[in-house]
A and B are shown apart, each in its own frame.
Chain A
Amino acid sequence: MKVLIVDDEQLARDRLARMLTDMNGYEVVGQAANGMQAIERCESTQPDVVLLDIRMPGMDGLEAARHMAGMEQPPAVVFCTAYEEHAIEAFKVQAVGYLLKPVRRDDLSAVLSSATRTNRAQLAALAQEEGSQRTHISARTRKGIELVPIDEVRYFQADQKYVTMRHPGGELLIDETLQELEAEFGNRFLRVHRNALVSTKYIEGLERNEEGQYQIRLRDVPVGIDISRRHVSSIRRYIQKL
């Protein structure tokens, strides 16, 4: 079984690696010190299990796990934590594998032998419990998982099947619903239409095209985004406040 170890502390990683080497049937295929690195290594090494520290600088373990869940072959994830009052309760509720640091050998082998993939719903519920927002949105592309900082996203737009995410590098299709996105990022994005969420950070103004359709203009976005009639007055008020 291939294992990826993710922890921001070198000592902690070394210890886990040592313990795994002593145990039969496990191979440490890589180590990572933060969430971003973890996703990278996860793609390049394709582990079966990721031992993932929760509290890490930059992208934390919880978010990294959510992006990993979007991979073609998502690994099983086991969270590691030294002390997280709330998280542990949530892990139990969501039946997610976790280890307490300092990790005990018996616990490690027990959790690895029973480690299963965590699905997106479980992870989203965990994040909601923690009240944490992702710093990035991930999309599965031919090159693998592509991460876009939430700060750079201009808008999300839904058509019948997919949600399109607009960012400076172009457009990406993501596997999430507008409802989920609005629930998580309601403080940064504004619903302007049944099918569109726009980043409040990039709003430039309101305009009306030849057909009389209200549209919202966003910085660095050539096309206007349609606004549904019932949202017009609330958006106008919002823009006036800016």
Chain B
Amino acid sequence: MAAAPIDQARPTRFVVPDLCNAPALSIVVLIGELLVLVLLFAGGPLTWEGLALKSLYVQWVVLMSAGALCGARPFLAKMGLARGALLAFVIIAVLTLLVGLGADRVVAGTLSYRIAPINWLSIGKQMGIACIIAGMVLRYFYVQQQLREQEQSELQSRIQALQSRIRPHFLFNSMNIIASLISVDPETAETVVEDLSELFRASLNDAGNQVLMSEELELCERYVRIERLRLGDRLRMAWDIGEYPDELKIPLLTLQPLLENAIYHGIQPLPDGGTIALTLRYDRNVVSVRITNPVPPPEYRTPTQGNKMAVNNIRTRLNVLYNDAAELTAETEGDLYVTHLRYPHPSLDDEMEPTKEVS
């Protein structure tokens, strides 16, 4: 549900920059002036007069181009990337030609072609320079815009990840539990606040972070403790944690959302509740976690949109971290809903080897 507005908010990416504002224009003018200096250093007499003349010429082209692109931008934007860019080049080239011709006549001191023929070679060179610089400037603005968009989307995805990781239901239910407990059982209320804080701290962490398996399991326990206060005996947990190395890591908040799903869809709708089983095995560098919950009869089911989102979110994160080596499946097996997570943990051998050498 959060994806749609983000897509809409994304600005249309376009190669021609918005030159109608002062900061962008000042950058263009600065680039023009730098070009003048380059031309001046490259050849010809190094005089104030040369600087002024070249500046006059270059800034004429630069400001006219900026003005033309500013005006033509809405029109260019509709044409698509390649054609818009091409037309922008044509505009700049034509403007350079016109300014070049004008300058040529001013230098010649006459409008008559017969007395002083037009120096086409020089104008051609100038158009070439204009196009090369224009290409670089357009590229500069394009990359800058891309960078800004990327930052924006990273921010958005973090917010989105945060939202999908904390179900608003869970937050408000926990608050309700705390409110209920404060006067009758302040100590338990305190525990809930502590557990909730840990869960929030974890969910505010970077989504790509890896933590020790023991830490993730502790978060799961904290989470289950809160849910048990709410659901009472309806929530039964069967933890089956096999042996695993102490250094075993897991992306932060991978198991907790899966447990949350299992409780939300598998336990909460059932008047008598049910059992959630979590089985963890570590064998030959592969971590395998299986979470099962009962499948409620159709009339008891809660809407499932959130379910897919959490699983997809975790799958995306696993893909980033393990490429295609990690696997997350969720399917119905008889009267159980089974979520199965497998991912390799090859780094363990590398970490273990040095210890062997020491001993």
From known contacts A82-B172, A83-B169, A102-B176, infer whether A18 and B269 are also in contact, taking CB-CB under 8 Å: no
A138 within 8 A of B: no
Q: Is A11 a contact partner of B300 (Cβ separation < 8 A)?
A: no
In the bound complex, residues from chain B placing their C-beta under 8 Å from that of A15 are: 176, 179-180
List CB contacts (< 8 Å) of B172-193 with chain A. Answer: 172-173, 175-181, 183-184
List CB contacts (< 8 Å) of A7-43 with chain B. Answer: 9-12, 14-15, 18, 33-34
- Shortest C-beta distance, A5 to chain B (Å), equals 12
A58 within 8 A of B: yes
Q: Is A82 a contact partner of B183 (Cβ separation < 8 A)?
A: no
B162 within 8 A of A: no
Q: How far is the CA of A83 from the CA of B172 in the complex (A)?
A: 7
Q: Is A102 a contact partner of B179 (Cβ separation < 8 A)?
A: yes
Partner of B176, one of A33, A57, A101: A101
Q: How far is the CA of A83 from the CA of B173 in the complex (A)?
A: 8
Partner of B183, one of A10, A18, A34, A83: A18
In the bound complex, residues from chain B placing their C-beta under 8 Å from that of A11 are: 176-177, 180-181, 229-230
Partner of A57, one of B180, B181, B268: B268
Partner of B173, one of A34, A57, A82: A82
Q: How far is the CA of A18 from the CA of B182 in the complex (A)?
A: 12
- Residue among A9, A12, A57, A58 with max Cβ neighbours from chain B (10 Å): A57
List CB contacts (< 8 Å) of B234-274 with chain A. Answer: 234, 268-271, 273
List CB contacts (< 8 Å) of B135-182 with chain A. Answer: 168-169, 171-173, 175-181
Number of interface residues of B (CB under 8 A): 26
In the bound complex, residues from chain B placing their C-beta under 8 Å from that of A12 are: 176, 180
B326 within 8 A of A: no
In the bound complex, residues from chain A placing their C-beta under 8 Å from that of B268 are: 55, 57
A135 within 8 A of B: yes
Q: How far is the CA of A57 from the CA of B268 in the complex (A)?
A: 6
Q: How far is the CA of A11 from the CA of B230 in the complex (A)?
A: 7
Across the interface, name the chain B residue whose C-beta is closest to A131: B303
B interface majority secondary structure = helix
Q: How far is the CA of A134 from the CA of B115 in the complex (A)?
A: 97
Across the interface, name the chain B residue whose C-beta is closest to A33: B271
In the bound complex, residues from chain A placing their C-beta under 8 Å from that of B173 are: 9, 82, 101
Across the interface, name the chain A residue whose C-beta is closest to B270: A57
Across the interface, name the chain B residue whose C-beta is closest to A132: B303
List CB contacts (< 8 Å) of A63-121 with chain B. Answer: 82-83, 101-102
Partner of B300, one of A9, A57, A102, A151: A57
B232 within 8 A of A: yes
B299 within 8 A of A: yes
B330 within 8 A of A: no
B278 within 8 A of A: no
B321 within 8 A of A: no
Produce 1/0 per residue, A130-156, CB < 8 A to B: 000001000000000000000100000
In the bound complex, residues from chain A placing their C-beta under 8 Å from that of B271 are: 33-34, 57-58
In the bound complex, residues from chain B placing their C-beta under 8 Å from that of A58 are: 269-271, 300
B231 within 8 A of A: yes
Q: How far is the CA of A58 from the CA of B234 in the complex (A)?
A: 13
From known contacts A10-B232, A34-B271, A102-B179, infer whether A82 and B184 are also in contact, taking CB-CB under 8 Å: no
Q: How far is the CA of A55 from the CA of B173 in the complex (A)?
A: 12
Produce 1/0 per residue, B212-240, CB < 8 A to A: 00000000000000000111101000000
In the bound complex, residues from chain A placing their C-beta under 8 Å from that of B231 are: 9
Partner of A14, one of B175, B178, B184, B270: B184
In the bound complex, residues from chain B placing their C-beta under 8 Å from that of A82 are: 169, 172-173, 176
Q: How far is the CA of A10 from the CA of B233 in the complex (A)?
A: 11
Q: Is A101 a contact partner of B172 (Cβ separation < 8 A)?
A: yes
Q: How far is the CA of A34 from the CA of B300 in the complex (A)?
A: 12
Q: How far is the CA of A57 from the CA of B231 in the complex (A)?
A: 11
In the bound complex, residues from chain B placing their C-beta under 8 Å from that of A10 are: 232
A-B interface, 9 closest residue pairs, ranked by CB to CB distance from nearest = A102-B179, A82-B172, A15-B180, A11-B180, A58-B271, A57-B271, A101-B176, A102-B176, A83-B172
12 contacting pairs across A/B (C-beta < 8 A): A11-B176, A11-B180, A11-B181, A14-B180, A15-B179, A15-B180, A33-B271, A55-B268, A57-B268, A82-B172, A101-B172, A102-B178
Other contacts beyond A14-B184, A83-B168: 20, CB < 8 A: A9-B173, A9-B232, A10-B232, A11-B181, A11-B230, A14-B180, A15-B176, A15-B179, A15-B180, A18-B183, A34-B271, A57-B273, A58-B269, A58-B271, A58-B300, A82-B169, A83-B172, A101-B175, A102-B175, A135-B299
